[in-house]
Amino acid sequence: MKLNDKVVLVTGGTSGIGLAAADLFRREGAKVIVVGTDPKRLKAAEAQLGTGCLAIAANLRCSADIDRVIAGVRERYGRIDVLFANAGLGRAAPLEAVTEVDLDEQFEVNFKGVFFTIQKAVPLMSKGGSVVFTTSFLNTKGTPGLSILSASKAAVRSLTRTLGAELAPRGIRINAVSPGPISTPFASKLGLSEQELKAFAEGVEGQVPLQRFGEADEVSRAALFLASDDSSYMTGAEIVVDGGLSQF
């Protein structure tokens, strides 16, 4: 059991990578708290994760909601041992079609939400604590139509280093897991038509050296490594789980 009795907060823990990670963390002995916005997905996650799991509805664009999440965890457990700040979304649009609303939404969830989640979680963390961010292969690979999503993930990659340096003297480690294309509902929310989505998926598969989409579980295992003491001498780093896409 790699996370025995650890209190683990997983944002975006109601779907895809976050849900797979929450389930794996629970099987490794953690007490898991998941956060999302959609009531149906929250209920389903709570049912899947079983007793001992807490599902909290919160919109991470809103810092008062983050305060409420942290207060809920403080009240129930009094501490956080691991934060997996994983919630995120993307909208595809070429340069001329990007709107202020698109930009604000992606930066507010993917960057601002992550920033205030860690800011508010850290007072409940102590020496030995571990923070894991979810970045993306997009933070190093230029992909047409994904400028804002990619920039928001590059900002989180930067945060892994700056906040990693700030928190290292307190014994709190910060690392990131960087997924490649993974089979989750994420791509279906990019705002592409069915035809565009199909072309996108085929294009991606053709580019990935391992010639397939990854599974959420394959990312969750890397997140577990970073969350647990197995990675005790790692901070500021990023583990890339992308079938070789950004490497070759």
Ligand X SMILES: NC(=O)c1ccc[n+]([C@@H]2O[C@H](COP(=O)([O-])OP(=O)(O)OC[C@H]3O[C@@H](n4cnc5c(N)ncnc54)[C@H](OP(=O)(O)O)[C@@H]3O)[C@@H](O)[C@H]2O)c1
Which stretches of the chain bind ligand X, using CB under 6 A? 11-12, 14-18, 35-38, 41, 58-61, 86-89, 109, 134, 136, 179, 181-182, 184-186, 189
Q: What is the DSSP letter of 168?
A: G
Nearer to ligand X, 122 or 186 (CB): 186
Please say whether the dihedral angle defined by the alpha carbons of residues 6, 10, 15 and 18, taken in this order, is positive or negative.
negative
Which residue number, 67 or 229, has a Cβ lying nearer to ligand X?
A: 67
- Is the CB of 85 or the CB of 125 nearer to ligand X? 85
Between the alpha carbon of residue 151 and those of residues 39, 85, 87, 103, 107, the distances in Å are: 29, 17, 16, 10, 9
Nearer to ligand X, 37 or 48 (CB): 37
Residue 216 Cβ vs ligand X, minimum distance, rounded to whole Å: 6
Encoded tokens for 106: 């992606």
Minimum distance of ligand X from residue 246's CB (angstroms): 11
From residue 13, give the alpha-carbon distance in Å to each of 48, 53, 123, 136, 244.
11, 11, 21, 17, 26
Minimum gap (Å) between residue 167 Cβ and ligand X: 21
Phi, psi of 11 (to 5 degrees): -85, 145
Smallest gap from residue 34 Cβ to ligand X (A): 8
